[in-house]
Structure 1
Amino acid sequence: MEREIEMKQSKFKRICVFCGSSQGKKSSYQDAAIQLGKELLTGDTVGEVKAVADMHQRKAEMAKRSDAFIALPGGYGTLEELLEAITWAQLGIHDKPVGLLNVDGYYNSLLSFIDKAVEEGFITPNARHIIVSAPTARELMKNLEEYVPCHETVASKLSWETEQLGYPQKHNLSR
């Protein structure tokens, strides 16, 4: 007897994944990356190559084209890209979920730091909810699908894209 299996369609078409350029010391990091790939891949062609002028334009392009962000374990570059995506959400530049694949508690110290910053009044509780974390790819994807932004406004798409294209807005920096 044949059974029909109904697959839930993801609301995400493109997800930007930040990760280390090396595989790290634990096999669990590589295993988690493979599991995330299995959760994300649909059999369709994935990715494209687009030349950009610099790292800022690279990050802006990734942010513009993606529906969500996921950080796997990584180093300085991963952390920098992750924090920029979080900051842009805090500023209202986007309202896309930002996920941490917290393999073997890799990001526990970062999450503790962020909780301390909330406790000390440097990060608002609403901004704390920008970060979605889970220990497995399947759980993270479920949490990202359920994410609802807590901030109130998103910056004008036109002003964001204009600035990213290299047309700086005029700012008065004099006192």
Structure 2
Amino acid sequence: MTVNPRKTICVFCGSSFGKEASYSQAATELGNLLAAKDYGLVYGGGTTGLMGLIAKSVASKGGYVHGIIPDALVSKERTGSVDEINKKIQSDVDNHKGETPLDDSYGRTTIVSDMHTRKRMMGMEADGGFVAMPGGFGTLEEIMEVTTWSQLGIHQKPVVLFNVDGFYDDFIKFLSKAVEAGFISKNNSNIVAVASTPEEVIEKLDNYVVPDGRFNLTWKNH
């Protein structure tokens, strides 16, 4: 496993596979590409669905992977029986902290006590930016939170929607509607970059330009 990746990308995505094979293929391809470029992955710590696919694809190529998961979600988003999982991680769960391999093929895992800690840790480690693949409520909430953080001036990192097979087309239309309605400025709408292939995701991350017009606020803790 790469100890010191060139940069680390946070990827938000579903703990399910979705109904289209293209979603799984895209997760695997993006993971392979991240590893090939010596980019690390920080993600939600699951071994199921798209989360598991991208983590395993990076780790299998020798790349750096760090999963961060709340203890309450371990039995839902990790494979294996509940008894097997609990046997491996009980001491960490009891203390609400610590790292445990859980499954070396998915990189290293940190177990935390709550969702807020999970998102904070992922955000702090993601020096290379954030990517949202297809997912549900959680994925959308996570990518919109880091978008809001950018709007508020908390960070200047890239934010990219990986629009696999048009998955985010309607959401992109919503963002345009919010601009037309006067709720999002035109400049701030450019906080979110859109990519349709793994290669374009990397290009958007590498060439991201922080838009003008974001709030110039001072944050002591973020």
Moved over 6 A (4+): none
* 1:155 positional shift: 4.8
Hey, what does 2:50 align to over in structure 1? Answer: none
- Structure number with the bigger relative contact order (C-alpha 8 A, sep ≥ 6) is 1
Preserved CA contact (<8 Å) 2:150 2:157: yes
Equivalent of 1:44 in 52, 57, 63: 63
Distance in 1 (CA, whole Å) between partners of 2:132 and 2:217 is 24
Q: CA separation of 1:142/1:17 partners in 2, compared to 1, >3 Å: closer, same or farther?
A: same
Matched, 1:63 2:126: no
Show the counterpart of 1:27: 21
Is 1:142–2:210 an aligned residue pair? no
What CA distance in whole angstroms lies between the structure 2 residues aligned with 1:63 and 1:155? 18
- Distance verdict in 2 for CA 1:26–1:97, change over 3 Å: same
Change in 2 beyond 3 A, CA 1:12/1:71 = farther
Q: TM-score, normalised by structure 1?
A: 0.79
When the two structures are aligned, how many residues end up with a matched partner? 150
Tell me if the contact between 2:151 and 2:215 (Cα under 8 Å) persists in the aligned partners: no
Unpaired runs of 5+ in structure 1? 1-10, 162-175
Q: Is the 8 A contact 1:94 1:154 kept in 2?
A: no
Contact 1:86 1:98 in 2 (8 A): yes
More strand per residue: 1 or 2? 2
Pair 145,154 (structure 1): closer, same or farther in 2 beyond 3 Å: farther
Please tell me the root mean square deviation across aligned C-alpha atoms, in Å.
1.8
* Alignment TM-score, normalising by the size of structure 2: 0.63
2:7 to 1, 13, 22: 13
